[in-house]
Structure 1
Amino acid sequence: MKWVLIAGKLATAFAWLMMFYNLVAPFEGNIAVILNILLAVTVFMHCFQTIIFHTLFNQLLPLKKVDYLQVFMFGVFSLLQYRQQVLDKQKS
């Protein structure tokens, strides 16, 4: 499971890089428009996931700003990582 999270985070980081690169130096054709739309959708969804993260994990784990940034940047892959931390904490 750990390698899936790492691979997912790498893919997400690559997607962010492509979308931000498109803002600086737009690609030709429709791909630039598609990447701009994907950037807007991604920002919206990751904000929503950060709110979910705060709601679910605020009482279970001590959270710092970097934790919220992780969830915003990597979305569901960070949520799964923090979920595993909570489950490990409950087992011990």
Structure 2
Amino acid sequence: MKTLITLGKLVTALAWLLMLFNLLHPFDGQIAAVLNILLGVTVMMHLLQTLIFHTLFSRVLPLGVRDYVNGFAFGVFALLSYRQQLLQHHAN
């Protein structure tokens, strides 16, 4: 599971880089518009996931700013990572 989470975070980081690069140096044709729309949707979804992240984990794990930034940047893969930590914490 850890490998899947790491791979997912890598792919997510590459997607962020591509969408942000498009803001600075727009690609030719319709792909620029598509990437801008995807960036907007991604920001909205990751904000929602960060809210979910706060709701689920703030009472059982101490969360700092870095945790919320990680949750925003990597979305569901950060949620899975913290879920795994929580399960390990309760197992001990």
Correspondence list, 1:1-92, <5 A: 1-92=1-92
- Residue 70 of structure 1 and its aligned partner are, at CA, apart by 0.2
TM-score (norm 1): 0.99
Deviations 1:20-53 (A, max 9, x none): 0000000001100000000000000000000000
Q: Percent identity?
A: 58
- Deviating beyond 6 angstroms after TM superposition, the runs of 4 or more aligned structure 1 residues are none
What amino acid is aligned across from residue 80 of structure 2 in structure 1? L
Runs of 5+ consecutive residues of structure 1 not aligned to the other structure: none
Give, in whole Å, the separation in 2 of the partners of 1:88 and 1:6. Answer: 18
- How many corresponding residue pairs? 92
Q: What is the RMSD of the two structures over their aligned residues, measured on CA atoms? A: 0.4
Q: Secondary structure at the match of 1:46?
A: helix
